[in-house]
Amino acid sequence: DSGVTQTPKHLITATGQRVTLRCSPRSGDLSVYWYQQSLDQGLQFLIQYYNGEERAKGNILERFSAQQFPDLHSELNLSSLELGDSALYFCASSGGSNTEAFFGQGTRLTVV
Amino acid sequence: DAKTTQPPSMDCAEGRAANLPCNHSTISGNEYVYWYRQIHSQGPQYIIHGLKNNETNEMASLIITEDRKSSTLILPHATLRDTAVYYCIVRVAPLQGGSEKLVFGKGTKLTVNP
């Protein structure tokens, strides 16, 4: 158990819809990272937040947005969903006394 | 883009040592070498990291060459549960508030055979 919690574990939705993925970082970690992994594809960095502020942005679509709340949990919002958005979405956190990042078990999103 | 080169796949017999190589010829002086693995669609799992000295923990050993242009991850006694994709990543150790994301390449798919 990495200590990073992601909900829901599975999500099935229709094209055009909007969903919110949630991530609770490890206790004491201030940084949260979001990654997307499509079928048989690598892990693509989407965005990072540190203590509520955006720190780095990767190949995140304009239809996607994220935020980190005062209690440090983070949400990734995906809107106007397309079939190609079907993927595993991972959240990771780091900070405190450790420099390594720890990953959650992911949310599997299926767009039908 | 990933700054590392790894073989796409390797095989290892159960109980034997698995030695996974990684080339990072453009590594900077302040960049660390991190290793993660991903077991079939699970979240990536941190294994070990190092700067220039060899490192060992309960999971693995990391051997970094003196010129730091390559490294080897060693799983001393591989088991079937070690079958996974192993990622070698170079990264500046993040300071508080830093933005040093992990950039994943394609990794090495290690298959441990009975």
| Separation of alpha carbons B83 and B71, rounded Å | 20
Q: Where does chain A show beta strands of DSSP type E?
A: 5-7, 10-13, 19-24, 31-37, 43-50, 53-57, 64-68, 74-78, 87-95, 98-103, 107-111
Task: Write out chain B residues lying below 8 Å of A50, CB-based.
Answer: 97-99
Minimal C-alpha gap between A79 and chain B (Å)? 24
Comparing CA positions, the residue from B2, B14, B26, B28 lying closest to residue B108 is B2
Cis bond upstream, residue B94 (ω within 30): no
Task: Write out chain A residues lying below 8 Å of B94, CB-based.
Answer: 31, 94, 99
Exposure pattern of A19-43 as b/e (b: 16+ CB <10 Å)? bebebbbbeebbbbbbbbbeeeebb
Q: Which amino acid does the sequence have at B79?
A: T
**pLDDT tens, residue by residue, A6-47:** 999 999 999 999 999 999 999 989 999 999 999 877 899 999
Contact across the interface for A99 and B93, Cβ inside 8 Å: yes
pLDDT tier at B102 (50, 70, 90 boundaries)?
confident
Contact across the interface for A104 and B43, Cβ inside 8 Å: yes
Q: List the beta bridge partners of residue B9.
A: B109
Averaged pLDDT, A54-77:
95
**pLDDT tens, residue by residue, B9-54:** 999 999 999 999 999 999 988 889 999 999 988 999 999 999 998 9
Query: Which residue in the set A50, A55, A101 is minimally distant from B102, CB to CB?
Result: A101
- In contact, A88 and A107? CB cutoff 8 Å: yes
pLDDT tier at A98 (50, 70, 90 boundaries)?
low
Q: Hunting for tokens 């079958």 — which residue is that?
A: B83
Contact across the interface for A106 and B42, Cβ inside 8 Å: yes
Percent of chain A with pLDDT over 70: 97
Minimal C-alpha gap between B12 and chain A (Å)? 22
Q: CA-nearest residue of chain B to A28?
A: B96
pLDDT at A97 over 60: no
- Edge-first strand order for the sheet with A19-24 is A5-7, A19-24, A74-78, A64-68
Calculate the CA B38 to chain-centre distance: 11
Exposure pattern of B52-87 as b/e (b: 16+ CB <10 Å)? eeebeeeebbbbbeeebebbbbbbeebeeebbbbbb
Contact across the interface for B104 and A92, Cβ inside 8 Å: no
